[in-house]
Structure 1
Amino acid sequence: MDILQWIIIALIAAYVISRFIPTKGITNITVQEAKDKFKDKNIQFIDVRTLGEYKANHRPQFKNIPLSDLPTKANKLDKDKAVVVICQSGMRSAKAAKILKKQGFAKIYNVKGGMNAWF
């Protein structure tokens, strides 16, 4: 293989690896750990599922801000408080956590397994 092929392979490998490295300031937590945080008044709870999903099944502590609305509505949240994000499986909330991190939130918790793991 020539040098260009090695560079392309290295770039692809670096990209794939970067997708699995946790982002600083984002912590994955279990459902039980999320429940334990309900007592803390300095934590905001955000459900990033669609409104229909939220209405069908949600926890009252979580405020619904769909993932598609989060980039524009995150400014309504307090950046000085920690944020717990949840979705159905944990994938959208992981994306939401990265959006919040880019917008300056310092302490973000993503619920592993999302609502699927709640029961």
Structure 2
Amino acid sequence: MFKFFNTVASISVTELQEKMKGTIHLLDVRTPNEYRSGHISKAKNVPLNKVDGYKGSLTEEVYVICQSGMRSKKAAKILQKKGYSVVNIRGGMSQWTGQIRGGK
């Protein structure tokens, strides 16, 4: 799947809430402290500086979220280069209105 300019697909937090009714792979690329202060329950914390080492299934779509959408976009480009099908969450946690949980 080749795209010009290596653009990353993106969806809004509203679209993410719809997708969460099913099973999705959601990576939260914020720092561990930010993650502990509140995250989406299905999200796995893989900080941006460690995303290059992420090992997941290349056959499943990976959704990436951060605080505003900037770090997740960077993370999405890194993962895309590694062969993952990635979707960035626009607006990030700052626009998320669904439930969040604290801790790990």
Query: What is the distance in 2 between the residues matched to 1:105 and 1:22?
Result: 12
> After TM superposition, which residue ranges in structure 1, 4 or more long, deviate above 2 angstroms?
none
1:71-106 CA distance string (max 9 Å, x none): 01x12x111100110000000000000001000013
Partner SS state of residue 28, structure 1 = strand
Amino acid across the alignment from 1:94? K
Q: Are 2:16 and 1:37 equivalent residues in the alignment?
A: no
Q: Which runs of 5+ in 2 are unaligned?
A: 98-104
**TM-score, normalised on structure 1?**
0.74
Q: Are 2:52 and 1:52 equivalent residues in the alignment?
A: no
Query: What is the distance in 2 between the residues matched to 1:22 and 1:88?
Result: 22
Q: Contact (CA 8 Å) 2:29, 2:72: kept in 1 or not?
A: yes
Q: Contact (CA 8 Å) 2:66, 2:72: kept in 1 or not?
A: yes
1:16-39 CA distance string (max 9 Å, x none): xx9xx661xx21111011111112
1:91 equivalent in structure 2: 70
Q: Determine which structure has more spread, i.e. the larger CA radius of gyration.
A: 1
User: Greater helix percent: which structure?
Assistant: 1
Partner SS state of residue 79, structure 1 = coil
1:14 equivalent in structure 2: none
Partner SS state of residue 42, structure 2 = coil
Matched residue count:
94
Partner SS state of residue 105, structure 1 = coil
Partner SS state of residue 39, structure 1 = coil
**For the structure 1 residues 29 and 22, does the alpha-carbon distance in structure 2 shift closer, same or farther, using more than 3 Å as the test?**
farther
